[in-house]
Amino acid sequence: MKILGIETSCDETAAAVVEDGKRLLSNVVATSLDLHAQYGGVVPEIAARSHIESITPVVEAAVQQAFDGQKSKVIKSKARATEDVRHSTFGLSTEADPWDQIDGIAVTYGAGLGGSLLIGVLAARTLAITKKKPLYGVNHVEGHVYANFLTETKLPDYVLPGAAPSFPMLALIVSGGHTQLALFRDHFDYTLLGQTHDDAIGEAFDKVAKIVGLPYPGGPSIAKKALEGNAEAFTFPKAKLQGKYDFSFSGLKTAVLRAAQAACGKTYELPSSQLPGLLNEAQKANIAASFQRIAIETVVDKTLLAYEEFRPASVVIAGGVAANQELRRQLTEKLPLPINYTDIKLCTDNGAMIATLGCFKAMLGQPSVDPYSLDIEPNLSM
């Protein structure tokens, strides 16, 4: 079962082919990140325009890359079957069409930016109709979790876990738009244990980076700067919420702002835009390290709590913040169960995670969707 996955929910135009929900055959990502960096965040109109420019070459590259290695085998067998036809076509190429090998198409239809989602969904719908393939709509956040099921690839530079996670599986989903804990009893059978009431953890990384003047996206910038800092230099609060597995990061972000103002001897009235010019490098590093420690501890604490309560057979982390080394370090140190972390290239948005979930939908008989009517759902929840 080979599924092409298409992902365009935010600023990455991504496509990949995955076989049997475990083998990564290709993974192509084009990002418009550079175009957004000067604005300190994703500009929806710019993202949508770059998706329009990139979607066709990205999908073509993913399909080509997936079958490059198998080209000779495919051509040989097809040539045998079409020997007579070949003689009568006066040498015209009978090279196999890689699309023949694709069994279905999966696409992110939510959650995400409306204009961005629309480009991926329209591309997938068109391909499903013209190439006559079943179409599967995928929830972006569920997709992130499925990056952890990839265990094999011939692509260079990927380090994948040796085995897929087993059920019941506890998933910590930490991205720019989501912070959630979910318990999966099986494929397509899960309970959302809790989620953020305000900012997502990745959003907090991005906002704190902006406060101290580190480049967008804030997650990797904060993580890098934190390496030079003292994680105990500042004491930031952890939000206490009624829901045992709920999160809140807006208070932490405000506490960082106040601490940064105080660190340069200013009052609350100082506009945050002036802070990057007033803080020295050591202060920035200490703020980055102290913020990162608390933000990561917050999600690790709740993961441990859920582990104790539900005793899952596996724990996975998913979403852009799952690339964070401090998160991996704390979880490895504190969780009694070893975690198989996936490659950090599969944590941020990609088509492989969408293709993987698409494979499971196809293999386990989930219904495909109508390519003439699949609509986007920007506010889709888990």
CB of 328 to ligand KG4, least distance (A): 10
CB of 144 to Zn ion, least distance (A): 6
Out of Zn ion, ligand KG4, none, what residue 220 binds, judged by CB under 5 to 8 A for its kind, is: ligand KG4
Out of ligand KG4, Zn ion, none, what residue 107 binds, judged by CB under 5 to 8 A for its kind, is: none
With binding defined as CB under 5 A, does residue 12 bind Zn ion? no
Q: Are strands 2-7 and 135-139 parallel, antiparallel or unpaired?
A: unpaired
With binding defined as CB under 6 A, does residue 349 bind ligand KG4? yes
Burial of 285 (0-12, 13-18, 19+ CB in 10 A): buried
Restricted to residues 138-177, the positions that interact with ligand KG4 (CB under 6 A) are 175-177
Strands (E), the chain: 2-7, 12-19, 23-31, 104-110, 135-139, 152-153, 169-174, 179-186, 189-195, 314-318
Residue 256 region, left (φ>0) first, then alpha (ψ -120 to 50), else beta? Answer: alpha
Burial of 284 (0-12, 13-18, 19+ CB in 10 A): buried
Tell me which of 123, 225, 349, 368 binds Zn ion, using CB under 5 A: 349
Give the range of 16-24, 159-167, 217-225, 353-361 binding ligand KG4 by CB under 6 A.
Answer: 217-225
CB of 339 to ligand KG4, least distance (A): 16
Total interface residues for ligand KG4 by CB under 6 A:
20
With binding defined as CB under 6 A, does residue 229 bind ligand KG4? no
> Nearer Cβ to ligand KG4, position 103 or 198?
198
With binding defined as CB under 6 A, does residue 321 bind ligand KG4? yes
Tell me which of 21, 104, 312, 319 binds ligand KG4, using CB under 6 A: 319
Tell me which of 4, 10, 306, 315 binds ligand KG4, using CB under 6 A: 10
Tell me which of 175, 283, 356, 368 binds Zn ion, using CB under 5 A: 175
With binding defined as CB under 5 A, does residue 19 bind Zn ion? no
Burial of 197 (0-12, 13-18, 19+ CB in 10 A): middle
Q: Which two tokens stand for residue 82?
A: 């079409």
CB atoms within 10 A of CB 105: 28
With binding defined as CB under 6 A, does residue 120 bind ligand KG4? no
Distances (CA, A) of 188 to 64, 146, 183, 317, 381: 31, 11, 11, 17, 14
> Nearer Cβ to ligand KG4, position 98 or 320?
320
With binding defined as CB under 6 A, does residue 317 bind ligand KG4? no
φ, ψ dihedrals at 24, nearest 5°: -85, 115
Out of Zn ion, ligand KG4, none, what residue 358 binds, judged by CB under 5 to 8 A for its kind, is: none
With binding defined as CB under 6 A, does residue 320 bind ligand KG4? yes
Burial of 50 (0-12, 13-18, 19+ CB in 10 A): buried
Interface residue list for Zn ion (CB under 5 A): 175, 349
